Amino acid sequence: MSESKINEAAEIINNSENIVVFSGAGISTESGIPDFRSEGGIWSKYDLSYHGNYYVFLENPKPFWTMHNELTDQLENAEPNEAHKSIAELEKMGKVKAVITQNVDMLHQRAGSGKYKNIPIYELHGSYKKLECIKCGKEYELDEVDTKNVEYPVCDKCSGFIKPKVILFGESLPLGVLNAALNAVRKANCLIMVGSSLLVSPANSVPLIAKESGSKIIFINNESTIMDDLADIVLQGKAGEIFTELMKKIK
């Protein structure tokens, strides 16, 4: 970890009062949640084009729920790490004004994001704890529904299939959430991208929008990305360790 780069990134953050954080799966690996593509991740055990496909779900929800129940066990046992906690602390300091995440794990909220200054958290792929009936729209909390002792849960009102409010293959991202998130990026004077491979849309459009808006850009990733040249500072390593060092230098 480069001390000079940490100092430069801390200076950018110290001088910024409208920071937007965009997080991908890499921020949560230190919390014990493998990203989809890594060894031990969901893709290594399930075919997401089948188990996570919306049109398969409409015909037979059982494959999805088999996968989701295993993922839920991981998410329930996970705890926010130092990266999540630092982002919440930066909100408390009045610096972070929005969090955009591709993750469904709700670790940002559990770390305190959205609590201190009531900032928006844009969950592009939804949340695993929020469920709804795809037939009548009735909403449920995860702990209100038995998902483990049945082949798949059904609505107690209309017997329709219950589905978490997560985006499956074949579904579009919620347009209102996406537009609001991108508008927050346009208004920011600093963008921190953490734990995203930047290989898929809309993640790979976010740095471009920030650059066009004149924002400073900080990348925090375990590995390099194809878009590193767009960043003012690239910090490579574990997100929790990098944020721990950054917070020592941020006032």
Cβ-count burial of 31 within 10 angstroms (0-12 exposed, 13-18 middle, 19+ buried)?
A: buried
**Model confidence band, residue 6 (pLDDT cutoffs 50, 70, 90):** very high
Higher-confidence residue of 46 and 82: namely: 82
- Residues forming a β-bridge with 133: 162
Q: Answer with the one of 166, 185, 217 that is the final residue of a domain.
A: 166
- If asked whether residues 205 and 220 sit together in one domain, one would say yes
Whether 208 and 241 map to the same domain: the answer is yes
**Residue % of the chain over a pLDDT of 70:** 96
- Residue 63's domain comprises 34-77+126-166
Other residues' Cβ atoms within 10 Å of the Cβ of residue 185: 23
Q: Above 70 in pLDDT, residue 41?
A: no
pLDDT at 30 over 80: yes
Pairing of strands 19-23, 96-101: parallel
Q: Are 134 and 244 members of one domain?
A: no
pTM of the predicted model over 0.85:
yes
- Residue 190, pLDDT above cutoff 90: yes
Domain count, the chain: 2
Each residue of 148-176: pLDDT tens digit? Answer: 999 999 999 999 999 999 999 999 999 99
**Mean pLDDT computed over 48-76:** 94
Task: Let me know: does 168 contact 98? Beta carbons within 8 Å.
Answer: no
Q: Please indicate, yes or no, whether residues 42 and 100 belong to a single structural domain of this protein.
A: no
pLDDT (average), residues 93-104: 97
Give pLDDT tens digits for 203-239. Answer: 999 999 999 999 999 999 999 999 999 999 999 999 9
Judged by phi (left if over 0) then psi (alpha if -120 to 50, else beta), residue 136 lies in alpha
- CA dist list (Å): 110 to 47, 84, 115: 29, 9, 9
pLDDT at 36: 61
Q: Write down the pLDDT at residue 23.
A: 98
**CA angle 6–12–14, rounded 5-degree value:** 100
The pLDDT value given to residue 40: 58
Active-site annotation holds for 84: no
Residues 130, 211 within the same domain: no
pLDDT in tens, 236-250: 999 999 999 999 999
Residue 244, domain CATH: 3.40.50.1220
Q: Is the pLDDT of residue 129 over 90?
A: yes
The per-residue pLDDT for 38 is 58
Q: Is the dihedral of CA 76, 81, 86, 87 positive or negative?
A: negative
pLDDT at 228 (0 to 100)? 97
Please give the pLDDT value at position 37: 58
User: What local confidence, expressed as pLDDT, does residue 43 receive?
Assistant: 58
If DSSP states are collapsed to H, E and C, what string results for the chain? CCHHHHHHHHHHHHCCCCEEEEECHHHCHHHCCCCCCCCCCHHHHCCHHHHCEHHHHHHCCHHHHHHHHHHHHHHHHCCCCHHHHHHHHHHHCCCEEEEEECCCCCHHHHHCCCCCCCCCEEECCEEEEEEEECCCCCEEEHHHCCCCCCCCCECCCCCCEEEEEECCECCCCCHHHHHHHHHHHHHCCEEEEECCCCCCCCHHHHHHHHHHCCCEEEEEECCCCCCHHHCCEEEECCHHHHHHHHHHCCC
pLDDT of residue 35: 72
CATH number at residue 157: 3.30.1600.10
Q: Lowest mean pLDDT: which of 29-33, 37-41, 121-125?
A: 37-41
Instruction: Return the pLDDT at 53.
Output: 96
Candidate list 51, 68, 84, 125, residue with the active-site label? 125
- At 161 the pLDDT is 98
Instruction: Decide which of 110, 140, 166 is a domain's last residue.
Output: 166
